[in-house]
Structure 1
Amino acid sequence: MENKYIISGIQQVGIGVENLHEAWKYYIDVFHMDIRILEDNKVAELMLPYTGGVPQRRHAVIAVNLQGGGGFEVWQYAGRKPKRLGFELNMGDLGVLACKIKSRDVAKTFGEFSRDPKVNIVTKLSQDIDGKQTFYVKDPYGNLFQIVQDEYIFKNEGRSTGGAIGALIGVTDIEKAMVVYKDILGYDRVIADETGVFADFEGLPSGSQRFHRRLLTHSQPRKGSFSELFGPSYIELVQPLERSPRKLYEGRFWGDPGFIQICFDIRNMDALGKHCAELGHPFTVDTTQKFKEGASFDMGDAAGQFAYIEDPDGTLIEFVETHKVPVMKKLGLSINLKNRNPEKPLPKWMLKMLRFGRVKGD
C-alpha cells in the first residue's frame, strides 16, 4: 500500500447554501438524502486559500440516500453573508454545472417529479449522449440536477432515485482536463464523446449552443470500505464551443452558494499526494501536514484527513480519508477504519446500520 492509493467512489457533492436546514429539508423531500453521516458547526481553519485567508465559521451536514450513490455536503457560512453567483450559470461555465442523481427508472422519476409541486423540471424527458433517458431539475437555489439511468442499488427502499453518482463539469479543454479525471481519479473509460447541439440541453442556459461533451466512468469496480454504498460513478466534461466560459467561483469563497466541490473517499493520502504532484496538480490544502503519522482531523462525529486539488480550470476536487464514522450516535457506536484492509468493502449489514441516522424532512 505504500505507493498505491484507493478511490472508493464519490463520497459527496458539496452544496453551498444560505439556509442549511431549509435546503437540507428540500433535499430530503426530493432526493431522500435523509441519512445523516455527520454534522459539524466549527471554524474552517485549514481552507485559507479559498476563504480570503481568514478562518471562517460554518455549519455543515453530510447526508446520504441508502439506495446507493454519494451524498450531499450541505454547507452554510455562519459568520459571513454568503455571496451568490453574480450572473446566470451557463452550460460550459467553469466548475460543477450539475450533480448527477441516479434513477433506476428515469421515466418513472419524471412522472413522480411532474406531480410534485416542490420540483422544478427544466428540460423535457430526452436522451443523454449515452442514449439513455435523462432530464434536469433545478432546486429553489438555482442548482441543476441531472436525473440519469443507473440500475445499481445498495439497499432497496422502494424509491426511484438514489444518491449522487457524478457531475457535469465545465472545462476549457477536455484533453487537458483528462489528466485529473482520468490519470488521477481513474475515469479511464469513455462512454460517449460527442460534439454538436444536444436535445437534452434544450431548456438549460446557453443549452442550444454547440458543445464538446465526454462522458466518463471507471473500467474497474471501485474498492474500499464504502465502495458498495457509493457504487459506480460518472464524470461528464462539457466544453463550450461558441462562448468564453466564466469561472463560477471567481471572486467568491469556497462555501458560497452553488456546487462547491466533488469529494472522493480515498485511502493512502500520502501516495495520492505524490501522484497528484507528479502530474502537476499538487495538494492546495492538506491536513496531513498538520496531523502527521496517521493522526485524525476532527470532523464532528467523524474523523479522518482531507486534501484538495484543482483541475486545470480551478474546479475543486476534495479527497477524504475516513478514519472513523458514526453508525449509532445515541449509543456512541462508530466504525473504526484505520486498521481494516483498505481494499475490502465493509459488510453490508454494517453499512445498513447507518439507517439509525435517518432524519425526517418534516
Structure 2
Amino acid sequence: MRRIISGIQQVGIGVTNADEAFVWYNKHFGADVVVFKDAARAELMKRYTGGEGHERYAILAINMQGGGGFEIWEYRSRKSQPAAFEVQLGDTGIYIIKIKCKNVKAAYAEYQKAGLNLLSAPKENPGGIESFFLKDPYGNIFEVMADDNWFGDTGRYTGGVCGVTIGVSSIAKAIPFYEKVLGYDKQLFLDEGKYEEFSKMPGGENNFKRVMLGHTRKQEGAFSKLLGPTYIELVEVTDRTPKKIFENRYWGDQGYIHLCFDINGYDEHERICNENGFPFTVDSANSFDMGEAAGHFSYNEDPDGTWIEYVETHRVPILKKIGWYLNLKNRKPEKPLPNWMVKSLSFSRVKV
C-alpha cells in the first residue's frame, strides 16, 4: 500500500503538570477537545529514557477549527527535567510551534488584553505571511500565523498546530530529510540575516539562515480535512555553535518533545525512511493502546537527532460514556472521514 501523510497529528509538550497546562492551552488556543487522557507506563521508549520504562500521564487536545493537536505529557515516576542551559533560537530541536490564525491582528489584541507574554508585534515573515510570537507560562514559544485553511468555526481566532520551527546545524543537510522522508518539497522562502521579530527570544539577536517548507501533496486520509496543510521552518544560527535542546535529557522532559505525523501505509513509509538513511529507532511493531485510542507508532530522527513520530490511527474515542469508538482499520485509508463524523469528536469538548 502506498504511503499517505495526512498532516501533523500533534506536537508533544513536556510539562510538570499536564492538567494545568491543558487548561491554559484550552483557554488561550481553543484546544478544548480531549481525544484521550491516559496514565500508563511508557515501556517502548526505553531507548530514550535511560533504558527503563516510566510512568506517565498524557492528554491529547485538539481545536476543532482545524490543525494538529497538543500531546501534553507529564512524568509520574521521575521529576521532569528542564534544559540545563537557556535554550536559544537556533539550538537543535523543535523551538517554536506554529498556530494557525484567522485574524492575526485581532488575536494579538486579544492576547495583549489578556496579559500574555507577547514577544513581537504582528509582522510579515520573508514569505509574506503575517505572524507574531508569544511565550506560554512554561517557557515554550508559539508563532500565531495567518492561515486560510479551516475545518470548522468555534468563534475563535486561532486553530491548532499548522507547523513548527526546528533548529538545525545545517539547513543544507536537513532539507533532504524533510523533503524526501516527509514530503516537504516546496520552498516558500529562503533567507538570511538578523530579524526584528526574533529579538525578544533568547539568542534572537544572532544571525540566521531560514527556510520555510510546504508541500505539494494533496490532503488525503481520515483526518486530513481537520489537520490541513502544514509547514516546517528550519533555522540555522550562523554566528554561534548551537546546542542540542534535549542534550543529556530524556524523551518526555520539559519542552517540545517530538513532531508527530498522521500516516497510513507503514511498510512503504518504513521503506522510504530506510532508503534515505533514517531507519526507525522505535517501533510499536503493530499496535499500541493509549487506553482510549489505539494505533501503530514509530520514531526516527532528523540529521540533528530531533524526534519525529509517526502514528497510524486504528481507533479513536467519540463518546466514551456509551462506548462509541471509531474503528479506522477497515476503511479506505486515502478517503477523508465525513465532516459530521470528525465533528462528533466535539462530544469530548471540555469547558474551562
Q: Is 1:225 the equivalent of 2:222? A: yes
C-alpha deviation, 1:356, in angstroms = 0.2
Q: Is 1:78 the equivalent of 2:69? A: no
State the Cα RMSD in Å. Answer: 0.9
Contact 1:93 1:247 in 2 (8 A): yes
Contact 1:134 1:200 in 2 (8 A): no
C-alpha deviation, 1:328, in angstroms = 0.9
Q: Is 1:265 the equivalent of 2:262? A: yes
Residue 336 of structure 1 aligns with which residue? 327
Query: Gapped runs of 5+ residues in structure 2?
Result: none
Contact 1:126 1:199 in 2 (8 A): no
The correspondence for 1:326, drawn from 313, 317, 329, is: 317
Which residue identity is paired with 1:232?
P
Percentage of matched positions with identical amino acids? 48
Structure-1-length-normalised TM-score: 0.96
- 2: CA distance, partners of 1:63 / 1:160: 17
Structure-2-length-normalised TM-score: 0.98
Which residue identity is paired with 2:344?
M
Which residue identity is paired with 1:96?
I
Mapping 1:3-152, distance limit 5 Å: 4-117=2-115, 119-152=116-149
The correspondence for 2:307, drawn from 307, 316, 332, is: 316
The correspondence for 1:159, drawn from 156, 161, 166, is: 156
Q: Is 1:275 the equivalent of 2:272? A: yes
C-alpha deviation, 1:206, in angstroms = 1.6
C-alpha deviation, 1:125, in angstroms = 2.1
Contact 1:123 1:204 in 2 (8 A): no
Residue 193 of structure 1 aligns with which residue? 190
The correspondence for 1:347, drawn from 332, 338, 346, is: 338
The one-character-per-residue Cα deviations of 1:50-89 (angstroms, maximum 9, x if unpaired) are 1100011100010100000000000000110011111111
Mapping 1:231-310, distance limit 5 Å: 231-288=228-285, 291=286, 296-310=287-301
Contact 1:127 1:199 in 2 (8 A): no
C-alpha deviation, 1:204, in angstroms = 1.3
Query: Gapped runs of 5+ residues in structure 1?
Result: none
2:114 alignment partner, SS class: coil
1:115 alignment partner, SS class: helix
2:65 alignment partner, SS class: coil
C-alpha deviation, 1:210, in angstroms = 1.0
C-alpha deviation, 1:27, in angstroms = 0.6
